Amino acid sequence: MPEVLRNARDVSDVAIDCAGENGSRSEDPQGRAGASPTLGSPPHEGGHHVVIVGGGFGGLAVAQGLGSVSGIRVTVIDQRNHHLFQPLLYQVATAVLSPSEIAEPIRGILSRHQNIDVLMARVEGVDTDRRKVLLEKGDTCSYDTLVLATGATHSYFGHPEWEQAAPGLKTLEDARRIRAKVLLAFEQAERSTDVAERERLLTFAVIGGGPTGVEMAGAIAGLARNALVRDFRSIDPRSARVLLIEAAPRILNTFPEDLSTYALKALERLGVTVLTTSPVEDISEEGVKVGGQLIPTAAVVWGAGVRASPAGMWLGVETDRIGHVRVGPDLSVPDRDGVYVIGDAALAIAQDGSPLPGLAQVAHQQGRYLGRALKERIQHNRPPKPFRFRSRGNLAVIGRNAAVVQWDSVKLKGFPAWLIWGVAHVYLLVGFQNRLVVSLRWLWAYATFRRGARIIP
């Protein structure tokens, strides 16, 4: 976990406020500064203080909705200094894009709003009685209104020991680690003279047949069969074996069956071996065990499950089995005054009574809604209308010219779906520069079959 950083201030400044110029150092009875550090001035001093934990899609949208609003101070707290476009992490992991092309400093995104401060710190809990966010090193940050947009992390279904051998894909560190393992496997295979070892080094397994797993498997296959094919002399990268392992009867099981079938055939055309109805029994550095058989592999990527952040534990409220906090129609937490949870940490209910999915578009819409709702409540004491999610469709890309899109009754596949997927993802990237660079990078890769981020750190 990163150490807490505050605008290049040293540790002696831990008591400086976390929301602009209205805070002050706390003092002990003898007047010594910093005895019980509280980041941020007391509630209601210097304006209504909204603290947002998490700089993802939801948290940023709330902050931008409250940006430059008179009478409201905002503090955004995140353990990293950047907003990350997670849907394209797999392209960093497979050397299509560089990390800087899908990430943007949170301070830079929000810098034009003078009422917003950004604090890089790790949250360790929430004291709802005293209305304080508990940070590392004993620091606290007072709030009037608290928004938890803390997302989700990997779930290994009771096998945390699998994480070391099978990293998931949630952070830039994850993507760099996977990219290094995949590229290093090809380099080691080039040097190996042992047939069995070379076969192991050229075998890659992706666990989970959802959109993340499908996109990752297709991207590794594309890397081997297109980008690397001219780079090696002793091995043929096209001989690499890519496995997509899914416990359910079919991949992309949240999509209609015909789109799932199309995705299966598209992956097989790329050379991916899809194993359905195949729950993983064990994962180690040696490989993956499926159906009682150990499959030796060079790299395993986990995309099979997620669990919510510990927001529910912080608040002391009941959660579902994977940690989602149940929220009301306005995204507030029942019996926790002034506390809201959005995005992957929330169990929000759609109009038809079903839980909303953990998608970026859900978090973004919830953030935009909550930004407007909090502004109306704080400034005019107006109760908000219930949140309503408007689906922008489900999208998953398989590979070059191959994707699937479902939007209500509309279903697309192939090249048209691939174009829509690309436009949608470029549009959602933060910053004009990122959109331009990613578009040019994709065009270059499409025209040349080359990938420009093949550095092993």
Active site (catalytic) residues: 215
Q: What gap in Å lies between CA 418 and CA 400, rounded to an integer?
A: 8
Which amino acid would we find at residue 230? Answer: R
Q: What gap in Å lies between CA 306 and CA 94, rounded to an integer?
A: 21
Phi, psi at residue 257, to the nearest 5°? Answer: -65, -35
Neighbour tally for 428: CB within 10 Å: 16
Q: What gap in Å lies between CA 161 and CA 315, rounded to an integer?
A: 28
Q: Which of 360, 358, 351 is nearest to 385 (CA)?
A: 351
Instruction: Please give the span between the terminal C-alpha atoms of the chain, in angstroms, as a whole number.
Output: 20
Q: How many CA atoms lie within 13 A of 285 on its CB side?
A: 1
Q: Which residues pair with 274 in a beta bridge?
A: 244
Task: Report whether 141 contacts 18 (CB < 8 A).
Answer: yes
Four-point Cα dihedral 231, 233, 236, 237, nearest 10? -30
